[in-house]
Amino acid sequence: MTSLRRVLARIVTGSGLLWGQLAAWLIAGRLRETAGRLFGVFAAGWMLGGMLLAARPLLWITAVAWCVAAYRKGHAAERAAAAEADFVQWIRDQIGDRNGVLVWELLDGLHQAGMHKDWDAAALRDMIERLGIHVRDSLKVGGYVSTGVHIDDLRAVWDVQLSPPPGKVHNPSPAGLTSDNYPTTPRVDVHAEGARITITPAGEGDTH
């Protein structure tokens, strides 16, 4: 039942996104262009509707094709939303118990993880702001003053809490897992496609 609900939810979400894309395309540009697109879509829809009503199998095929496309769209949106939340959580963890984090600190963390070494502070700031998080032009953190994210600005738009530290190992393995080799810094893979972000957690054996 849960899986069916998830599938239906993705189809509904994807359908809304597809209709939204169509609407955005229809109203883009000048009024004359919009009117031309509306007329063309109406004429094509009228003809297609008549064909589908005349041949019911085509109606079912079209419905299935729409559901598949909507499901994929909804699934992609679901994964993007989860990735965004993971990225924001990573920012929250970089703040820790401080008042905020500077953009160059976040950028340095990405570069140390081997991610997006071609990015500069401006590109990272743009990505953060796409998530609705305000980036202050002047923020003092740990004796440094630069552009950064204040904890209050982060909490204003995202409900995130500091991740708890890893629990103590009462029966350590022969490998001797310690704070020196524990993968405390996640590997973050960020793709600037709109607001889409992909987070790749640190794997076993990865260190920062």
pLDDT, tens digit (0-9, with 9 covering 90-100), for 146-198: 999 999 999 999 988 888 766 554 444 334 333 333 333 444 444 444 444 44
Contact 199, 87 (CB under 8 A): yes
pLDDT at residue 14 in the model: 83
Number of independent structural domains in the chain? 2
Residue bearing the bigger pLDDT, 201 or 110: 110
Contact 166, 174 (CB under 8 A): no
User: CA distances (Å), 8 to each of 13, 65, 72, 111, 191, in order?
Assistant: 9, 15, 12, 40, 28
Whether 134 shows a pLDDT value over 60: the answer reads: yes
Say if 204 falls within a structural domain. Answer: no
Select from 26, 49, 77 the last residue of a domain: 77
Min mean pLDDT across 47-56, 88-97, 133-142, 165-174 is at 165-174
Condensed to tens digits (0 to 9), the pLDDT of residues 57-95 reads 777 787 888 889 988 888 888 888 888 888 899 899 999
Task: Answer yes or no: do 62 and 100 share one domain.
Answer: no
Select from 30, 47, 77 the last residue of a domain: 77
Place of tokens 């950028």: 107
pLDDT at residue 65 in the model: 87
Of the candidates 89, 65, 90, 84, the one whose C-alpha atom is nearest the C-alpha of residue 14 is 65
Say if 109 falls within a structural domain. Answer: yes
pLDDT at residue 99 in the model: 94
Say if 47 falls within a structural domain. Answer: yes
The tokens for 64 are 């299935």
Of the candidates 116, 123, 125, 115, the one whose C-alpha atom is nearest the C-alpha of residue 148 is 125
pLDDT at residue 39 in the model: 65
Min mean pLDDT across 2-16, 43-57, 96-110 is at 43-57
Task: Answer yes or no: do 191 and 109 share one domain.
Answer: yes
Say if 169 falls within a structural domain. Answer: no
Select from 77, 106, 126 the last residue of a domain: 77
pLDDT at residue 21 in the model: 77
CA distance 31 to 33: 5
Q: 99: domain range? A: 80-163+181-199
pLDDT at residue 66 in the model: 82
Whether 123 shows a pLDDT value over 80: the answer reads: yes
Whether 137 shows a pLDDT value over 90: the answer reads: yes
Say if 152 falls within a structural domain. Answer: yes
Task: Answer yes or no: do 102 and 191 share one domain.
Answer: yes
Say if 26 falls within a structural domain. Answer: yes
pLDDT at residue 168 in the model: 53
